Amino acid sequence: MLNISKINRWPVVLLLVLVLLTAAGCGSAKTVAEINGQKITRAQFDTYINALKLLLPQIEGMMADKSTRSLLEQNILETMIENILIKKVAAQRNVRVSAEELEEDYKTARAQIVAMYGSEEEFFQKLKELKLSEQDVKELLEVSTYVDKLYADFLAEADDDEIRAFLADNPEYGIMPAMIEPSHILLATEEEALAVRERILAGEDFGDLAEELSIEPAARTTRGYLAVNGEIAVNDPYWDRTFMSAAASLAVGELSEPVKTQFGWHLIILHSKTEEVELPFEQVREAAADALVAEKFDAFLDNLRRQADIKIRL
């Protein structure tokens, strides 16, 4: 069943800034693309952009220069082409979406869109402003229903042997990464870090010194504690690799030597550590199957695109 958050799965919504485009030429029958003989007209293209604006009103007022607009138009047209190919994939695999299923999903999405605008009246006012019909909105949203059905179809094909083979090639899906709970004091120079380290070893409180001396602004309130959202995965790409490697090498309660990163010099203390654990197949099967299916679906779509006769005339 569709909800607005699900829209994030669509390639179209990864292109949020695409609604910077203007809707000039809304009545044009000019062909902007052709996929295996199926045409996308300028009028269809502009209607699609306006339907995106309905779903993403927070960026409707943003502006873009001509060079940006040209690039964005190309990207959004690629998304429309992909939507056509998704339906072609469904047809090739004999995956059928009934009118009743489309209507049910649209009702769910529509209720959420109306809630976003506050009332039916405001919703219809926005449709009028954007020169849209509800059918236009349905056509934009219906690709989600096709994706859901296709996903279920690909998922049904994935047996345990295939999933185990995928895990063998992608072991990260079968492992609970090592987790750590560190605090740090960030200083500008190695000399400062060495001096503060001596104060900690002499018995001064780590948190007090972090609050007083750390050049990290957040330390005024966190006292240098970094795991405010729970333990941190050692392999989390958000965190500096040098810092995480040094923190993970510590024993619980141990104070590090000064550690240099792009941000400065750190003193790190480790409060807790959970070692990496290989998880049983039953526990990781669903996540591994999801990743496998996403990989297979993308490959199938890429292959279909390579085989398609696509002409772009934007």
- Please write the tens of the pLDDT for every residue from 201-251: 999 999 999 999 999 999 999 999 999 888 999 999 999 999 999 999 999
Query: In terms of domains, do 152 and 119 share one?
Result: yes
Q: Is residue 285 part of a domain?
A: no
Range of the domain at 127: 4-162+293-312
Q: Is residue 187 part of a domain?
A: yes
Domain with residue 197: its CATH number is 3.10.50.40
The DSSP code sequence of 166-208 is HHHH-GGGGEE--EEEEEEEEESSHHHHHHHHHHHHTT--HHH
User: Residue 135's CB: how many other CB atoms inside 10 A?
Assistant: 10
pTM comes to 0.59
Query: In terms of domains, do 256 and 298 share one?
Result: no
Number of domains in the chain: 2
Query: In terms of domains, do 123 and 189 share one?
Result: no
DSSP 229: T
**Left, alpha or beta for 204 (phi > 0: left; psi -120 to 50: alpha)?**
beta
Q: Is residue 53 part of a domain?
A: yes
Nearest alpha carbon to residue 290 among 182, 116, 158: 158
DSSP 255: B
Q: Is residue 268 part of a domain?
A: yes
Q: Which pLDDT tens digit goes with each residue over 66-81?
A: 767 777 778 888 989 9
Q: Is residue 23 part of a domain?
A: yes
Q: Which pLDDT tens digit goes with each residue over 160-211?
A: 999 999 999 999 899 999 999 999 999 999 999 999 999 999 999 999 999 9
Query: In terms of domains, do 115 and 36 share one?
Result: yes
Q: Is residue 170 part of a domain?
A: no
Nearest alpha carbon to residue 305 among 83, 45, 151: 83
Query: In terms of domains, do 141 and 64 share one?
Result: yes
Task: Calculate what percentage of the chain has a pLDDT beyond 70.
Answer: 88
Query: In terms of domains, do 197 and 125 share one?
Result: no
Angle at alpha carbon of residue 157, lines to 153 and 158, rounded to 5°: 120
Query: In terms of domains, do 25 and 131 share one?
Result: yes
Query: In terms of domains, do 32 and 135 share one?
Result: yes
Query: In terms of domains, do 143 and 186 share one?
Result: no
Q: Is residue 250 part of a domain?
A: yes
Query: In terms of domains, do 134 and 41 share one?
Result: yes
Burial 231-244 (b: 16+ CB within 10 A, else e): bbbbeeeebeeebb
Q: Is residue 252 part of a domain?
A: yes
Query: In terms of domains, do 139 and 260 share one?
Result: no
Query: In terms of domains, do 104 and 234 share one?
Result: no
Domain with residue 117: its CATH number is 1.10.4030
Residue-level pLDDT at 134 = 92
